[in-house]
Structure 1
Amino acid sequence: MPRLLAALALLVAAVVGVAVAPVPADAREWKKIRFAAAGDYPPFNGLGDDRALQGFDIDVARALCDRMKAECEFVVLDWDALIPALLAKKIDAIAASMAITDERRRTVDFTAKYYDKPVVLLAGKDAATGSDPALWKGRSIGVQANTTYAIYLRDQFAPKGATVKTYPTEAAAAADLAAGRLDGVLGDSVTLYDWLERGATADCCRFVLPEIKDARYFGEGVGIALRKEDKDLKAQLDKAISDIVRDGTHERITRKYFAFSLY
């Protein structure tokens, strides 16, 4: 783990406070909140042996429900079905490591962020030495489909001549990188560092620094997605997020999964 921890220490942002609007006195009291996640993104959200959701996102959601004295219900949906299910009122909230972006805000609302992480480019040892899109002309980059990372590559790298290949998961893309079928993989630091640290083929690849930052694509952190009309739920969840950050609950959950802060 030393290599992983040393690298991540360079990437993790400093802790900042949460701005919280007061909860209106006449706000609806939410006694039950139906959360959904895709379950394909461990350690943030994955499926246990019993096929139940587990992971950092899920533990944070449970802590928020505890703070609100509300019952949590969790369902597994495909990533592409999450927002449609929310808008159709089949669920109340998405706790699936969804980045807060302006594009998504056209359709849904978000709580305050509950974690943040940098975007990195993992490359084969003989690939380009930087993250400038022009360096990737004629090279292939893998990415999880239907994510902000895929949109970013489509808009910024493909016009410069890079070939963008999409995969169902970041792990699948990384496996093709290790097998020599890709020149790079774009994704989040935690997942790709974990894959590199644990993989038997870790010597295949290296990270191209610096990390990529573009708020237009990667937003303002990760929040819980909500319907726009559920302003009372947003206010109550925002307060709960502030509370668990302040009293150390958030940090205890983080340390269960990671050796570094995500907030």
Structure 2
Amino acid sequence: MNKVWSGVLAGVLGLGLAAVAQARGFEDIKKQGRIVIASEGQYAPFNHFENNKLSGFEIELAELVAKKMGLSVEWKALGFDALLAGLNQGRWDLVIASHGVTEERSRAVTFTEPHYCSGGIVVSKNPAVRTAQDLAGKAVAVQTGSSYMQNLLKLPGLKEVKNFPQDTDARTAMLSGRLDAWVTDRFVAKAAAKAQPKAGMQVGELIFVERIAAAVAKGNAGLAEAYNKALKESFADGSYAALSNRYFGEDVRCK
């Protein structure tokens, strides 16, 4: 999810020099044998809670990669807008929460190699609302701080773009009939439609495509390189494909 944290970026950039000093390098993390990873926990099927425990594709993937790095994981869960700022304050070592790689974000943090590709998709109870063009004259629900909102605002003729604190709130607003459509990640949309088959959700077409990656503090190249090496090992040995197929029925890595 290519979320953009308006109002937070300037603070993150301002912490850039301090972040390098505060962030733990890979050697320090390796000595302790434990990496601290933060996620949101509100974005099924990628990161969410099951029985008060973080679960989802990204959670399992991060644990798989960490194991290949010889590390155990300590998890932190908090609001999306705080994740990257806390990363650059040295409060955790890595963030994995469906961040889309953008030029703006890349000035503030160091991204790892992407672990999946996706994009924003149109969802509506009206089968005639499927494309970006179909949104003209419509009121659309989207999560606060997401680039889905930025991309929607570029479209001509929208009646309203209404943002909500969580993606599930945006979905509920669309399902209740308060808004005409919901724009979210394509895999989130597919999972929601599968989980609520009687809700009448019609999954339409992509508005844009994005590369999704984990992030470390700006300049923490050693940790990023170690993570990338282990991620590539999961690609090569089939463990990534097995995990991806279990969640999505396909290999979702970027082609």
Residue 48 of structure 1, CA deviation: 2.3
Residue 197 of structure 1, CA deviation: 2.3
Distance 1:82 1:201 in 2: 34
Relative to total residues, which structure has the larger strand share, 1 or 2? Answer: 2
Backbone CA RMSD of aligned residues? 2.1
Please tell me whether residue 41 in structure 1 is matched to residue 37 in structure 2: no
Question: Contact 1:127 / 1:184 at 8 angstroms: preserved in 2?
Answer: no
Question: Contact 1:33 / 1:73 at 8 angstroms: preserved in 2?
Answer: yes
The residue that corresponds to 2:220 in the other structure is: 230
Matches within 5 A, 1:46-125: 46-49=48-51, 51-125=52-126
Distance 2:62 2:199 in 1: 33
Residue 118 of structure 1, CA deviation: 3.2
Question: Cα deviation per residue 1:205-237 (whole Å; 9 max; x = unaligned)?
Answer: 42333x2225xxx4xx11111112210001111
Among all aligned residue pairs of Structure 1 and Structure 2, give the percentage whose two residues are the same amino acid.
Answer: 26
Structure 1: runs of 5 or more not aligned: 1-26
Number of corresponding residues: 226
Structure 2: runs of 5 or more not aligned: 1-25
Q: TM-score, normalised by structure 2?
A: 0.81
Question: Contact 2:45 / 2:191 at 8 angstroms: preserved in 1?
Answer: no
Residue 136 of structure 1, CA deviation: 3.2
Residue 137 of structure 1, CA deviation: 3.7
The residue that corresponds to 1:244 in the other structure is: 234
Question: Contact 1:131 / 1:208 at 8 angstroms: preserved in 2?
Answer: no
Q: TM-score, normalised by structure 1?
A: 0.79
Distance 2:171 2:126 in 1: 13
Residue 52 of structure 1, CA deviation: 2.5
Distance 2:242 2:135 in 1: 40
Please tell me whether residue 206 in structure 1 is matched to residue 202 in structure 2: yes
Please tell me whether residue 175 in structure 1 is matched to residue 176 in structure 2: no
The residue that corresponds to 2:18 in the other structure is: none
Look up the SS of the partner of 1:192 in the other structure. helix
Question: Contact 1:37 / 1:96 at 8 angstroms: preserved in 2?
Answer: yes
The residue that corresponds to 1:192 in the other structure is: 189
Distance 2:208 2:136 in 1: 20
